[in-house]
Amino acid sequence: MKKILCILMVILIYGMSTTKKSDNVKTIVLQPYFGFPKTYVEYVKNNLLLIYPKVIVLKDIPLPKQAFVNNRNRADSLLKYLEINCLNNTTIVGMTNKDITTQNGKISDWGIFGLSNMPGKVCVISSFRIKGNVLDKIFKTVIHELGHTEGLNHCSIPGCIMSDAKGKDNFNNEDNFCNKCKNYLIKRNWKL
């Protein structure tokens, strides 16, 4: 009996430790807003799954009316609304094809590709200003913003995904995360 109990205990402890381990991996949740093309969502999901273990997609929702101020969707406001619905151990990526803006110095409505809380649980990206190889550029925007949510700041190493775009389309010069950014993300369960 003692032996069986011991074996049971071992199984129980093993079970607990493996559950704990897999629970440590956050889930990246893709939240498309109405109008964001399904093909874009699929592309982002499939490519994210190559470099991150847990990715899910939620049903489309409308952009919150409260975030629409002076004819613009305020990115900082979108982050606040996403955060309300953010569960534990998840990071939400809001995805829209509408223009999103934020305050930049004296300019109150600066159009952007994406915005995130750093570190944080939410980010938002927009395809509105992305031209050319849209799929590739959207994906790079998503992983750039996710990098911020993981706590990465802008990176000065040329070609790194975490480079500061400063409002320009630099995507073709950005191939991957630099080694420093890569190693940081690998410690956070990224498979880079």
Element of type H or E holding 189: none
In the complex, what is the shortest distance from the CB of residue 90 to Zn ion, in angstroms, rounded to a whole number?
21
- Closest to 30 in 3D by CA, of 114, 79, 92, 88: 92
CB of 28 to Zn ion, least distance (A): 17
β pairing state of 107-112 and 122-126: unpaired
Please state the closest distance from residue 147 (CB atom) to Zn ion, in A.
8
Which is nearer to Zn ion, 36 or 113 (by Cβ)?
Answer: 113
Size of the site for Zn ion (CB under 5 A): 6
Q: Which stretch binds Zn ion (CB under 5 A): 5-13, 64-72, 93-101, 151-159?
A: 151-159
Q: How far is the CB of 162 from Zn ion (least distance, A)?
A: 4
Asked if residues 16 and 152 have their Cβ atoms less than 8 Å apart, the reply is no
- Would you give the DSSP letter of residue 55? E
**Residue number with CB closer to Zn ion (20 or 166):** 166
26: three-class secondary structure by DSSP: coil
Given the complex with Zn ion, which of 51 and 57 has the nearer CB atom?
Answer: 51
Q: Map the footprint of Zn ion across residues 153-192, applying CB under 5 A.
A: 155, 157, 160, 162, 178, 181
**Cβ neighbourhood burial of 54 (10 Å; 0-12, 13-18, 19+):** middle
Report the interface residues with Zn ion, using CB under 5 A.
155, 157, 160, 162, 178, 181
